[in-house]
C-alpha cells in the first residue's frame, strides 16, 4: 500500500535515501535490525524518515521479530543487518520464514564494490549463502537500481507463495548519488478463478461419505478463514488443521476435530486413516502429517489445492491437484455448492465417539498440576483476544493440543524448520503489530535460553509480553525420543538455566517461580495484571511426555498413545 502521508519534494540523492523512500512507499512502519560498518550509511539516513526501527540484541532475533510481525499482520516484515556475521546471523530466521511461507525482506550491507571478492573485513557471499532458502536474492551494484529493486523485493516476498527476499547493498552504493528510476509492478492482479477441476473437486466433496477438510497455513496467508467456515458449514464436513493451520478455524466450532500427525490427536489420525476423501487446502503434506506416505489415507481420494504448483504431487499424489490461491479456490468451490447438504452425519458421530477417550483423559488432567492446567489458566486470564507464540518442543505440542484457539491467526509458531529460540523475538513482532492485545509466549527451558537477551529489547520498548516457561530441566522432546528409542540413555539432554525470577529482575522485569502445589490460576492472573513483561517459571514433571507419538517410518494409525505402550 502506498504511503500518502509522507512525501519528499526532492528525489532521493543517495542510495540509502532511495532505500528509505522505497520502504515508506511500501507502507513499512517497523523494521528490526542491528547496525554495523557496511550498513552504516543506511542507518545514518534512517533518522530523517518516519520509520520505526527496533534495535534488537542479536540479528537472528531481528529476522524472527520481522517474521512474527509478518505472520500477525499479513504484511511484509523487514529486518536489517550489516555484512559478514550480521548477515550470517540472519540465516536461521530466513530459513524459518522460507519453510513456513512468511513474507520478509532482509536488507544487508555489503563491503564496497572495490573490496568485493578479496576476503575483505566482514565480507561474506550472502547471496550464495542464502539462495537455497530465500525466494529471491538481489545484489544491487547500480545505485539507480536500488529503489526499483527494493520495491520488487516486496512484491516477490508477498506474491504467490510468500517467502523471504534478501537485498544485499554494498556500502559505496548506499553512499552513491542515484536517480529515482521509477517502479513498475511485475504483473497485473490475477483474473477471477474458474476451473473445471474445482467443479470436479466440489462434486467429490458432495458425494463423499467420510470426507475431511484438511486446512493449512495457506488459509491464513490468503485470508480465507470465512470461506473455509462457509465450506464446512455448507457441507457438514469435519475440519482438520495442520500445525500452522491452527486458528484458521475456530476450535470451539462443532465441526472442528483437531490436528493430525506425529503428535496430533489419535482420533484425528484414525479419521484420516478411515476417510474416503481428503479435501486439502493451503498445505503441503509435511512428513509430520503423513507419517509413512505409502500408508497415508489408504482409502481416500485426495483433492489438493495449493498456491505453489511444485507442491502438487511432491509428497502425496492427488486425485485432483489445483494450483490456486486458497481464498479464490474456495470461493469457486462454494459457487458449485450453493445448496447446503449434510451427507456425513454418521461419519461425524463415529469421529465423536472415537474422541471420547481423549476428552476423558484431558478432563481428568485439567485439575492436575501440569501443561493442560497451565494452558487453560492462560486462556482464562488472557481472554479471547490473546495471541499465543510458541517455541519448539514438547511445550509447542501441548499448547497446540490443549490451548483452545478461537481467534483467527492467534497461533504463531515455527513449523517446517522447527526453530528453537523463535518465540521470544517473534512475540516482539506480534506485540509491535498489536500493542493493545494480549501476547503470551509459551517456551521450554531449552528454547527460551537461545534468544533470552531480547528481554532487553522488550524492556526498552515496554512491550506487554507475558512469558510462560515450561521448565522440565531437559531438552524435553529429544529426551522423550531417547526414552522410547534409546533405552532412556539421556545423552546431553539434561539442561540447566538461570533462576528466571531473578533473571527477570536483572532486566527490570517481573517474574515468579511456580511449582506443584502452587496456585497456577492465581499466578497467571497476577502475570496478566502486571504492566509490561512478566516471566512465569513453571517447574513441571521432568519426564512428562507428549502423546500420541508416531515413531519414524510408521503410519498415522501406528501410534504410541500412553506410557508403557
Catalytic residues: 59, 121-122, 171, 477
- 57: closest CA among 450, 510, 462, 497? 450
> 274 in helix, strand or coil?
helix
Burial 242-270 (b: 16+ CB within 10 A, else e): bbbbbbbbbbeeebbbbbbbbbbbbbbbb
Q: 166: number of CA atoms within 13 Å, CB side? A: 29
**Rounded Cα distance, 177 and 160, in Å:** 34
Nearest to 370 by CA among 500, 264, 520: 520
Closest CA to 164 of 41, 42, 85, 81: 81
For residue 429, how far is the Cα from the chain centroid? 12
Farthest CA pair distance, the chain = 73
In Å, how far are 361, 441, 467 from 402, measured between CA atoms? Answer: 12, 15, 17
Cα–Cα nearest to 541, from 470, 451, 491: 470
- Name the grid cell of 62: 531481528
Residue 445, SS3? coil
Other CB atoms within 10 Å distance of the CB of residue 192: 8
Amino acid at each position: 500500500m502506498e504511503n500518502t502521508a509522507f512525501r519528499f519534494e526532492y528525489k532521493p540523492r543517495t542510495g540509502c535515501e532511495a532505500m528509505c523512500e522505497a520502504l515508506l512507499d511500501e507502507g513499512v512502519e517497523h523494521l528490526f535490525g542491528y547496525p554495523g560498518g557496511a550498513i552504516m550509511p543506511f542507518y545514518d539516513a534512517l533518522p530523517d524518515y518516519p520509520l520505526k526501527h527496533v534495535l534488537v540484541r542479536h540479528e537472528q532475533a531481528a529476522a524472527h521479530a520481522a517474521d512474527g510481525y509478518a505472520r500477525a499482520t499479513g504484511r511484509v516484515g523487514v529486518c536489517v543487518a550489516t555484512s559478514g556475521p550480521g548477515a550470517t546471523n540472519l540465516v536461521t530466521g530466513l530459513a524459518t520464514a522460507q519453510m513456513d511461507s512468511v513474507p520478509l525482506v532482509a536488507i544487508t550491507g555489503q563491503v564496497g564494490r572495490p573490496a568485493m571478492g578479496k576476503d575483505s573485513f566482514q565480507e561474506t557471499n550472502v547471496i550464495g549463502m542464502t539462495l537455497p532458502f530465500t525466494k529471491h536474492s538481489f545484489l544491487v551494484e547500480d545505485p539507480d537500481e536500488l529503489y526499483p529493486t527494493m520495491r520488487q523485493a516486496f512484491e516477490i516476498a508477498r506474491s504467490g507463495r510468500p517467502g523471504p527476499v534478501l537485498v544485499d547493498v554494498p556500502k559505496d552504493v548506499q553512499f552513491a548519488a542515484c536517480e529515482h528510476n521509477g517502479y513498475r509492478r511485475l504483473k497485473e492482479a490475477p483474473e477471477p478463478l474458474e476451473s473445471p477441476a474445482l467443479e470436479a473437486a466440489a462434486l467429490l466433496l458432495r458425494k463423499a461419505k467420510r470426507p475431511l477438510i484438511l486446512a493449512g497455513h495457506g488459509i491464513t496467508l490468503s485470508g480465507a478463514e470465512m470461506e473455509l467456515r462457509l465450506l464446512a458449514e455448507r457441507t457438514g464436513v469435519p475440519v482438520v488443521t495442520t500445525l500452522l493451520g491452527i486458528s484458521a478455524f475456530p476450535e470451539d466450532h462443532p465441526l472442528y476435530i483437531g490436528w493430525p500427525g506425529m503428535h496430533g490427536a489419535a482420533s484425528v489420525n484414525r479419521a484420516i486413516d478411515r476417510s474416503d476423501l481428503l479435501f486439502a487446502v493451503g498445505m503441503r503434506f509435511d512428513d509430520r502429517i503423513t507419517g509413512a506416505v505409502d500408508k497415508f489415507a489408504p482409502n481416500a481420494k485426495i483433492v489438493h489445492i495449493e498456491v505453489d504448483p511444485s507442491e502438487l504431487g511432491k509428497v502425496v499424489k492427488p486425485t485432483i491437484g489445483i494450483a490456486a490461491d486458497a481464498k479464490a479456490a474456495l470461493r469457486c468451490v462454494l459457487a458449485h455448492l450453493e445448496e447446503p447438504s449434510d451427507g456425513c452425519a454418521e461419519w461425524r458421530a463415529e469421529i465423536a465417539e472415537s474422541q471420547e477417550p481423549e476428552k476423558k483423559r484431558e478432563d481428568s488432567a485439567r485439575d492436575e498440576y501440569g501443561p493442560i492446567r497451565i494452558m487453560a489458566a492462560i486462556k482464562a486470564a488472557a481472554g479471547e483476544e490473546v495471541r499465543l507464540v510458541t517455541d519448539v518442543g514438547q511445550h509447542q505440542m501441548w499448547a497446540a493440543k490443549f490451548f483452545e484457539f478461537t481467534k483467527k491467526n492467534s497461533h504463531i509458531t515455527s513449523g517446517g524448520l522447527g526453530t528453537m529460540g523463535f518465540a521470544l523475538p517473534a512475540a516482539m513482532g506480534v506485540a509491535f503489530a498489536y500493542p493493545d492485545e494480549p501476547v503470551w509466549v509459551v517456551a521450554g527451558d531449552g528454547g527460551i535460553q537461545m534468544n533470552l537477551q531480547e528481554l532487553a529489547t522488550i524492556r526498552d520498548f515496554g512491550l506487554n509480553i507475558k512469558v510462560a516457561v515450561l521448565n522440565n530441566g531437559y531438552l524435553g522432546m529429544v529426551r522423550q525420543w531417547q526414552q522410547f528409542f534409546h533405552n532412556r540413555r539421556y545423552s546431553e539432554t539434561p539442561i540447566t538455566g538461570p533462576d528466571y525470577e531473578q533473571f527477570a529482575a536483572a532486566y527490570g522485569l517481573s517474574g515468579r517461580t511456580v511449582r506443584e502445589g502452587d496456585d497456577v490460576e492465581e499466578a497467571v492472573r497476577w502475570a496478566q495484571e502486571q504492566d509490561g513483561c512478566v516471566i512465569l517459571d513453571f517447574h513441571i514433571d521432568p519426564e512428562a511426555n507428549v502423546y500420541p507419538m508416531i515413531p519414524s517410518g510408521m503410519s498415522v494409525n501406528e501410534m504410541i498413545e500412553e506410557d508403557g505402550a
